Structure 1
Amino acid sequence: MSKHCFFQLSKKYGSVFTVYFGPKKVVVLAGYKTVREALVNYGEEFGERDSLLIAQEFNEGHGVLWSNGDSWKEMRRFSLTNLRDYGMGKKACEDKITAECHQLLEVFKKFNDQVREEISRVIGTRQVQVEDRKNLPFTDAVIHETQRLANIVPMALPHKTSQDVTFQGYFLKKGTTVCPLLTSVLYDETEWEKPHSFHPAHFLDKDGKFVKRDAFMPFSAGRRICLGESLARMVLFIFFTTLLQHFRFTPSPGVKDEDPRLTPQVGFTLIPPKHKICAVCSKRPPL
């Protein structure tokens, strides 16, 4: 079942509903308030991972993504320590970063000059540093808005209830599979002024300063939030800012200057279709 089907079901049946994958019952959570309540406020009750059969056979219950209990806690601590010490994201983060960098270069076209002007004014020609982010609010807003709209991981990996729980008036037995629908959070019409449009102002206040939004959950939330979030955010910022510092991106010769098609292709993640663009090297400091 596609993310679009789940999204339509959430509009029809509300923020908590049940679907069946064959005989398997799955409870879907939709909308910012419901997903946050479950993953954050009820973190213990919804904090276990419902391992896929193929993952059980391949990993034998090990691995930070699919394990539970003390084993998961120990592996999570170990993984976070190594991510901090060595900055290594491995394949899962690499796929996400690659897909989002591609999306960044496609979707922001109409904001090209504004981003480049801010980078030139704040950084000039020196090397970009992570600390520059706080002084580049518009650039940071464009990156966040791209992640929100790109929505390349529309559903969090399946959770399961660790105990019997009553949630929003519904009784869920221990071991119930739960699927948080991240698409419904990132496109929640009660949280975003223009949920289906590319609108960097979602992350800016009236004075142009960057504003963090609680409904920004491309990495999920709660106990099972993506371990590589900090690394991915750092790399996306450095890659994107460095590219815009040294290149101007334009449509390829013969390609009409129009908004790129962003209908995603389905794979392990959702990625935009391929586009032909030109990267023009700046032989002098950015504009």
Structure 2
Amino acid sequence: MLTISQAFVVLIIFLLIIEFFKLRKACKQFPPGPTPLPLLGNLVHLNFQFHRDLLMELAKTYGNIYTLWFGWTPVIILNGYQAVKDGMTTHPEDVAGRMVSPFFRAMAKGKGIILASGRSWKQQRRFGIMTLRNLGMGKKGLEYRVQEEASHLVEFFVNLKGRPVDPSFPLFHSISNVICALVFGYHFSDEDETFHELIRVTENLFRFGGSFVHQLYEIVPWLMCRLPGPHKKALSCYDVLSSFARKEIRRHVERGIPNEPQDFIDFYLAEMEKSKDGVKPKYDEDNLVYVINDLFLGGSETSSTTLYWGLLYMVVNPDIQGKVQKEMDTVLGPSQLICYEDRKNLPYTNAVVHEIQRFSNIVFVGMPRVCVRDTILLGFPVKKGTIVMPNIASALYDPEQWETPREFNPGHFLDKEGNFIPREAFLPFSAGHRVCLGEHLARTELFIFFANLLRAFTFRLPEGVTKISTEPILGGTLQPHPYRICAIPR
């Protein structure tokens, strides 16, 4: 006779075997992939990490469209430029849903733009694009804001007089002030305590993203939500952003909506007023809070991190830094205000900015999509509700598209005559209906900030420092290891 404990162990083993065969049967409905295990799915195959290189390695075995299981949830991975492009653009409407995972559901409630789906997402995104255009996106008015912040950043480095500094905070401060001016109608000063708090919580949020605890939360949310840990801290950090957004909304309401809206909140409040008599208003305060959070996080972290990588690459590649400066010295006047249109006369500088984006690849895989209807994905029938993940890194490092994908090489964007050439595989802003809302703003910021900094300074390592790491730190975005540099006036 078996004891109770032995019988329990036998029962567990029996149930796991049944679950294993159920998974094997379910796998036949999806593109091929490694055989999942009960409870764990393919986490063992991933070494309990979600890393871009592992995803690319698996593609060598299973092809450029394959399936990974996270617990009981299948996720279709698209690998390589062609698979990512075709998967996101052949039937773009079919894969325009957003996977609202347990952690992100707890964080943003499926509202806003980035983490929303369906009709609400379409409405908020359409309004966001229209309002940003009204506020000057793609026009000289917004470009002036970028130029103004770039000049403040140059002044910050001038005042250091070549002393070593970690440029992370000043870059974040200057970049985020562009989106803050658009959304809130004002800039933050360097010393503003509220702004420092917003930076702190933003850093914590992105550091938590992609961590082991984050992945664990997505697999067993019913357990994790009852336990203390970094996930609780991350959620509280998001609450700090939401609380700040609500204070700004109240400030705008108390001031009153002007006849000519001055910022994003003004436009949104005016739209709320128009639609308040509807059966179910399209625009409400909760959605506005989460849209503000999306604009702040998306408009600050990504561009500032890309520039943080950019300065690192210039220190590591002084010959490339010198070529950029030589080109600008030849083309630009000494007091000429750099504008986005200047990129056409600065092909090498423009190529370097693009290569910084390609090589740093800060969002190492694209945000997961969800099929909103039954569709065909690269020849495979895929059911409504299936999660699809485009591996953006695999497009930016695709050896069939880039001559030296694992090297920092501005020549990727230059022809034999030195003219700038766009590349189809350059997809840092993703593709399809979920392409980045602020792509034009980000392109403008990166070019103007980078060109202004390199025209004014030569960036070097501090005296006595001979080595600097170019390996990324895994998180919500791929960050460089903290470093210090000297900005030597030219």
Give 3-state SS (helix, strand or coil) of 2:95's partner: coil
Give 3-state SS (helix, strand or coil) of 2:69's partner: strand
* Residue 184 of structure 1 pairs with residue 394 of structure 2: yes
Indicate the residue corresponding to 1:24 in structure 2.
Answer: 73
* Residue 46 of structure 1 pairs with residue 95 of structure 2: yes
Alignment of 1:176-255 (within 5 A): 176-255=386-465
Residue 25 of structure 1: how far off its partner (Å): 0.7
Give 3-state SS (helix, strand or coil) of 1:26's partner: strand
Distance 1:84 1:273 in 2: 36
Give 3-state SS (helix, strand or coil) of 2:476's partner: coil
Indicate the residue corresponding to 1:123 in structure 2.
Answer: 332
Distance 2:357 2:463 in 1: 28
- Residues 43-68 of structure 1: CA deviation (Å, up to 9, x unaligned): 01212111122332343332111222
Distance 1:104 1:169 in 2: 39
Cα distance, 1:35–1:278 mapped onto 2, change above 3 Å: same
Indicate the residue corresponding to 1:264 in structure 2.
Answer: 472
Counterpart of 1:275 in structure 2: which amino acid? Y
**Hey, which of these two has a bigger chunk of helix by percent?**
2
Cα distance, 1:209–1:168 mapped onto 2, change above 3 Å: same
Give 3-state SS (helix, strand or coil) of 1:166's partner: strand
Counterpart of 1:269 in structure 2: which amino acid? T
Find the partner of 2:116 among 67, 70, 75. 67
**Contact residue 81 and residue 395 of structure 2 kept, 8 A:** yes
Alignment of 1:265-284 (within 5 A): 265-282=473-490
Residue 177 of structure 1: how far off its partner (Å): 0.5
**The 10-residue stretch of structure 1 (69-78 or 152-161) with the greater mean CA deviation from structure 2:** 69-78
Residue 206 of structure 1: how far off its partner (Å): 1.3
Residue 209 of structure 1: how far off its partner (Å): 0.8
Task: Return the TM-score normalized by structure 1.
Answer: 0.93
Distance 1:65 1:113 in 2: 39
**Contact residue 86 and residue 378 of structure 2 kept, 8 A:** no
Give 3-state SS (helix, strand or coil) of 1:44's partner: helix
Distance 2:302 2:131 in 1: 19
Alignment of 1:166-177 (within 5 A): 166-177=376-387
Distance 2:65 2:480 in 1: 29
Residue 232 of structure 1: how far off its partner (Å): 0.8
Distance 2:89 2:381 in 1: 18
Indicate the residue corresponding to 1:81 in structure 2.
Answer: 130
- Residues 178-206 of structure 1: CA deviation (Å, up to 9, x unaligned): 11000100000100011000111110111
- Residues 247-286 of structure 1: CA deviation (Å, up to 9, x unaligned): 0111211122x6x42110112200111223211012xxxx
**Hey, which of these two has a bigger chunk of strand by percent?**
1
Distance 1:176 1:38 in 2: 13
Task: Return the TM-score normalized by structure 2.
Answer: 0.55
Residue 224 of structure 1: how far off its partner (Å): 0.2
* Residue 92 of structure 1 pairs with residue 301 of structure 2: no
Aligned length: 280
Indicate the residue corresponding to 2:369 in structure 1.
Answer: 159
Give 3-state SS (helix, strand or coil) of 1:262's partner: coil
**The 10-residue stretch of structure 1 (66-75 or 198-207) with the greater mean CA deviation from structure 2:** 66-75
Identity %: 38
Distance 1:212 1:197 in 2: 18
Distance 1:250 1:183 in 2: 29
Give 3-state SS (helix, strand or coil) of 1:280's partner: strand
Residue 122 of structure 1: how far off its partner (Å): 1.4
For structure 1, the residue ranges without an aligned partner over 5 or more in a row are 283-287
Find the partner of 1:102 among 308, 325, 332. 308
Residue 12 of structure 1: how far off its partner (Å): 2.1
**The 10-residue stretch of structure 1 (23-32 or 2-11) with the greater mean CA deviation from structure 2:** 2-11
Residue 237 of structure 1: how far off its partner (Å): 0.6
Residue 70 of structure 1: how far off its partner (Å): 2.3
**Contact residue 87 and residue 378 of structure 2 kept, 8 A:** no
Indicate the residue corresponding to 1:285 in structure 2.
Answer: none
Residue 229 of structure 1: how far off its partner (Å): 1.1
Distance 1:82 1:122 in 2: 35
Give 3-state SS (helix, strand or coil) of 1:28's partner: strand
Residue 128 of structure 1: how far off its partner (Å): 0.9
Give 3-state SS (helix, strand or coil) of 2:111's partner: coil
Give 3-state SS (helix, strand or coil) of 1:45's partner: helix
- Residues 223-252 of structure 1: CA deviation (Å, up to 9, x unaligned): 001111111111111110000111011121
Cα distance, 1:122–1:53 mapped onto 2, change above 3 Å: same
Residue 3 of structure 1: how far off its partner (Å): 1.8
> Root-mean-square deviation (CA), in Å?
1.4
**Contact residue 459 and residue 486 of structure 2 kept, 8 A:** yes
**Contact residue 66 and residue 77 of structure 2 kept, 8 A:** yes
Distance 1:103 1:79 in 2: 28
